């Protein structure tokens, strides 16, 4: 009996140490964030006075956080030492052999880690921290980008396609088409294995070499399997960083132009992702915001815009919006993650495109009319652009091989057309909506669909 009582003290000491370490996660993460934020300020291109002031302010936060961590760690060590060596002597003479005490202490340190915890996010706390350290700091991102594109040149070659962009309003089939193209031609793209070091994938690839399997359904719940090899809309982070988010306001996403310098960095960035004559392939639903200047400065890029039956499309957007709202309430990191990548299509961070210069007339995101208006606004603008090619979602679903063949002819790129996976979609009944708005959308749809390659 006395042995059991003596063992309880070192076991409790080990438990205390582990709980303390687990509780110190938050202040330690805060210190890491402040430290990288200080590095980010040091890498900034502010004028000397502003930079000096920003460095002082961030240094103060970092030092305060460091001192807090030192104080907490010192208190934890002192309390652990006290409960291990001195507390037993206050009650009985401590005669437990050191070997048994160390064993009991080791068992105690393991017990808190064995306690089952409810998983609140698909990303571990450490993974979330790493994403925040990299994606939250644009000056650090620019430094990484500078390293990525150093020595890279990519002059325009108007007689040869060097990049293919797949775009359209979300839920138009852009992901499915991009995935169909990925393995059927000499393409290079960003994929999930590049996260979160999106602006220096070559550097990141030296340290991170995961197995690229596609065995998990993506968050949209649409049956599309994803993995670290899955091409996704990841290039938008480049535009967020190089423009300092100048096209994003609290309520809308705005039209903007890429400067010649920004476009040059974009070309060199895309070239840095390619090797052995590969062609850059991207999916980016936000491309519409800067497409005029991209098309003007990059005649060697071919752009395909997906368009879908407006009522079915609007209903799909509304359902996805509701789904992501619920998921982001349950796991706030999903919202943070989507905001980093510029995914404002749906969910709590949903922001409409401002393509007409006017604020949305429909404001209730729970109604189909809001999403119909987004459809009309998007494709009313898209049909005014030259040098783009529309592809009907319905054509791709029904005749995917013919659509791939059409892309091959339009680009001059040899593509495999056989064995394209089908994504059968049956029309669904849609809720009540404005008949006039629907008629306007259908008119636009009929204008652009004949330009489809299928």
pLDDT at 108: 83
Q: Is 191 helix (H, G, I), strand (E, B) or coil?
A: strand
What share of the chain has pLDDT > 90, as a percent?
67
Give dist(CA 278, CA 265) in Å, integer. 18
Confidence label for 453 from pLDDT (cuts 50, 70 and 90): very low
Helices and strands (H and E) in the chain: how many? 17, 9
Least confident piece of the model among 2-6, 271-275, 351-355, 398-402? 2-6
- Look at residue 36 and tell me whether its pLDDT is greater than 80: yes
Structure confidence at residue 66 as a pLDDT band (50, 70, 90): very high
Q: At 47, is the pLDDT very low, low, confident or very high (cuts 50, 70, 90)? A: confident
pLDDT tens digits for 393-418? 999 998 999 999 999 999 999 999 88
Residue 228 pLDDT greater than 60, yes or no: no
C-alpha dihedral sign at 407, 411, 417, 420: negative
**305-335 as b/e: b if 16+ CB within 10 A:** bbbbbbbbbbbbbbbbbeebbebbeebebbb
Per-residue pLDDT at 121 exceeds 90: no
454 pLDDT more than 50: no
Question: Mean pLDDT for the chain?
Answer: 89
322-344: per-residue pLDDT in tens?
A: 999 999 999 999 999 999 999 99
> What's the confidence (pLDDT) of residue 448?
93
For residue 222, the model assigns a pLDDT of: 47
pLDDT, greater one: 370 or 21: 370
Tell whether the model's pLDDT for residue 57 goes beyond 70: yes
Residue with tokens 């507390």: 87
CB-CB neighbours of 4 under 10 Å: 7
């Amino acid at each position: 009996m006395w042995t059991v009582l003596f063992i309880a003290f070192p076991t409790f000491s080990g438990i205390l140490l582990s709980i303390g370490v687990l509780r110190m996660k938050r202040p330690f993460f805060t210190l890491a964030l402040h430290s990288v934020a200080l590095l980010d300020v040091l890498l900034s291109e502010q004028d000397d006075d502003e930079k000096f002031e920003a460095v002082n302010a961030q240094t103060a936060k970092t030092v305060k956080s460091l001192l807090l961590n030192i104080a907490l760690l010192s208190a934890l060590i002192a309390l652990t030492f006290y409960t291990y060596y001195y507390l037993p002597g206050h009650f009985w003479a401590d005669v437990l052999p050191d070997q048994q005490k160390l064993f009991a202490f080791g068992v105690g340190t393991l017990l808190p880690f064995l306690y089952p915890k409810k998983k609140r996010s698909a990303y571990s706390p450490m993974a979330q921290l790493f994403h925040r350290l990299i994606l939250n700091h644009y000056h650090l991102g620019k430094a990484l980008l500078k390293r990525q594109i150093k020595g890279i040149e990519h002059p325009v070659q108007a007689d040869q396609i060097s990049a293919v962009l797949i775009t359209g309003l979300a839920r138009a089939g852009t992901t499915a088409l991009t995935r169909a193209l990925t393995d059927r031609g000499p393409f290079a793209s960003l994929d999930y294995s590049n996260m979160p070091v999106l602006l220096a994938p070559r550097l990141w690839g030296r340290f991170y070499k995961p197995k690229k399997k596609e065995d998990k359904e993506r968050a949209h719940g649409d049956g599309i399997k994803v993995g670290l090899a899955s091409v996704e809309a990841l290039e938008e982070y480049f535009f967020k960083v190089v423009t300092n988010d100048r096209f994003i306001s609290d309520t809308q996403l705005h039209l903007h132009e890429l400067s010649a310098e920004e476009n040059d960095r974009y070309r060199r960035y895309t070239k840095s992702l390619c090797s052995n004559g590969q062609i850059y392939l991207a999916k980016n639903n936000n491309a519409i915001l800067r497409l005029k200047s991209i098309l003007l400065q990059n005649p060697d890029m071919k752009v395909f815009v997906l368009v879908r039956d407006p009522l079915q499309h609007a209903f799909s957007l509304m359902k996805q919006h509701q789904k992501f709202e619920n998921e982001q309430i349950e796991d706030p990191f999903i919202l943070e993650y989507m905001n980093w990548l510029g995914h404002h299509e749906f969910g709590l961070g949903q922001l409409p495109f401002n393509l007409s210069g006017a604020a949305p007339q429909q404001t209730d995101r729970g109604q189909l009319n809001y999403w119909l208006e987004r459809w009309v606004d998007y494709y009313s603008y898209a049909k005014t652009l030259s040098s783009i090619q529309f592809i009907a979602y319905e054509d791709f679903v029904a005749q995917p091989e013919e659509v791939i063949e059409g892309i091959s002819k339009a680009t001059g790129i040899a593509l495999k057309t056989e064995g394209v996976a089908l994504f059968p979609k049956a029309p669904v009944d849609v809720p009540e909506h404005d008949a006039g708005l629907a008629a306007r959308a259908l008119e636009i749809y009929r204008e652009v669909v004949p330009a489809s390659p299928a």
